Amino acid sequence: MRLNGKRIFAAMLALALVVCTFASCGDNAGEEEITRGANAIVTPSTTRASTTAGTTTTTAPATTAPSTTRSSSAGSNSGSNNNSGGNNNSGGMNTGDIAADSGASMELVASLINAFGYNYDAEQGVFYTEIDSWQRSANYIQHYDALAPLGNMRFQTTRVDFTTDGLDWRIQLWKGQYGVFGGAEIGIYNKIPGQTEELYYCVDDDHMMYMSYTMYLTPADYRSGNAYFTRGWQKHWWLTGFKVGTVTPAEMVMSARIRTFNGAMATAMESGLQGAGFREGNATTQYDTYRRSGFDFYILWYQAGALNY
């Protein structure tokens, strides 16, 4: 099936997104109480997943295989880095507080929250997207990555592709510079085999996966346990984190954990990881390796994949 019209539209949309997403949107200094929709800016509990060199400690057991029944509920942990997922302070923060805390300008904070549906983790100074962000309807094509440098988004990415349970899956990892932010993403997408050539759809609630990751700016930071930020264990389709700062994409290290639905999916994903440049290893001291534990994968990503610039 040819999707020339859709590809052109998606490419144009991607260009608009990358140009605008991290750009200031005029002088909004007068906007003192800007929140994301009806939800106040999140200030998570001080209890957070602890990080060690190579893994993120969570309350979920690493070796226990989950039920194969997929829950359609996203849970109460949308965006929180708290392991229990729902301990959020609903008191809210204004743009001045967030700008002062994160180092971003008032205009940029307002644009991120108002126009692009981001939320903010005040503990770590990290902006992130919620499950219901509007970007979910944009789906994914590779044109997004190709056009991203036009919007000052330069990153390293790798795609884990596999087929299972009648679907083509893509689990994509990104790390790098997003305008004035250093950040990372894990996206989950699928499509019916043969339905489209390059277009993948953001997964629905039934196909979201549990995942988490911790970012390090350099291998030295990873070895010393000096984390840049953590995105805690939660069920999501697009786990993102963006923190004001300058980074070198090729030097960043991601320590991630992703849970599959069943043994067949785990086996298929293992082949996909190998095709993406990962090899089986301890995923703690060996870069670009994965370790399978039940239905869970622990991944230590450094150089696999390619830069988009």
Instruction: List the domain range (segments joined by +) for residue 264.
Output: 4-50+88-307
Residue 112 in any domain: the answer is yes
Residue 140: per-residue pLDDT: 87
Q: Is residue 58 part of a domain?
A: no
pLDDT tens across the length of the chain (309 residues): 334 444 444 444 444 444 444 443 333 333 333 223 333 333 333 333 333 334 443 333 333 333 333 433 333 333 333 333 333 332 357 778 888 888 888 788 877 776 677 889 989 999 999 998 888 988 888 888 999 999 999 999 999 999 999 999 999 999 999 999 999 999 999 999 998 888 999 999 999 999 999 999 999 999 999 999 999 999 999 999 999 999 999 999 999 999 999 999 999 999 999 999 999 999 999 999 999 999 999 999 999 999 999
Residue 82 lies in a domain: no
Is position 270 within any domain? yes
Q: Is residue 59 part of a domain?
A: no
pLDDT for residue 37: 31
14, part of any domain: yes
Q: Domain for residue 131, yes or no? A: yes
pLDDT at 92: 57
pLDDT the model gives residue 114: 65
Q: Number of folded domains in the chain?
A: 1
Report the candidate in 248, 178, 242 with the shortest Cα–Cα distance to residue 220.
Answer: 248
Cβ atoms of 139 and 199 within 8 Å: the answer is yes
CB neighbour class for 94 (10 Å; exposed up to 12, middle 13-18, buried from 19): middle
In a domain, 83, yes or no: no
